[in-house]
Structure 1
């Protein structure tokens, strides 16, 4: 129960182009005193991916969902709907789950605040936040939302946290070198550990 109250499910793209945004979200969650969770935390070919995601969603009170990647991809070109699907799973758990699941809260992100109305209009009425594909804006939005959820006076404002993240990004090559890693070799576990250790030491 204690873990449920502090765990945040991240539902976002995992491709290289999104990597800095992903690190910004993980940093904001960690800096705000929560624990970041996502499908990348387990690498087990024997486990069904949907079951894994469902288990993580079940264990998290909070969710950060970025539905910005719905562009056509591949041949033939088709949209990518993993993120909207996982958002639906999270909302379904809140709607149809037990009293614990009904306590879920989520933040929904997109490139533009109202763009979602063109491809997932059933979300009309939800408070969607735009980030403009800018990690600084993204971390400000996530940090502000988490500060509201935590009601903690020790969690800094979004702009201050964005500056802290910039310093973390500058330190990241050296932090990775200490583990004999390149930045693009980091696992999700590496990232969360490095962020936690950096925050504890530097802040």
Structure 2
């Protein structure tokens, strides 16, 4: 009888983590993947009803694995398209600009991401889902190449302030403009 008490406790802890992971994913965060699955699987594996350990599959971490596989497949499909765009446009590739950063602002989810500027390298951004690369032409002017879902690669030049807003992106059926800004890094 004691094993059922341990099972109930482990499953309750696991359910707590699963609910927290679902709540975090709805808020655009990752939560604690697989933690709830481990507790639920351990709880049911201690009982004679071991097949109930399959309930651990309701953990959103398993969905994240399928999304990671899908991202990898989509990435591999997009690489040749971007490589062709790089060569057709005659853009320089693979330059790290140590003195510059790329800020990506997405007002829909109230997020700003800052990263080092690396030109001619395709990257993925998830909300809204898009593939993009910042390239430089022969004059040193920056251009954004981007693609969302089944669309063609589009090229937009940055303005004189090295700022660009892409307004034709969609997230959950609604417009989701994204602002890209290239800034000079200051080291203090």
Q: Normalising to structure 1: TM-score of the pair?
A: 0.22
* Structure with the largest fraction of helix: 1
Q: Normalising to structure 2: TM-score of the pair?
A: 0.23
State the structure with more CA Rg: 2
* Structure with the largest fraction of strand: 2
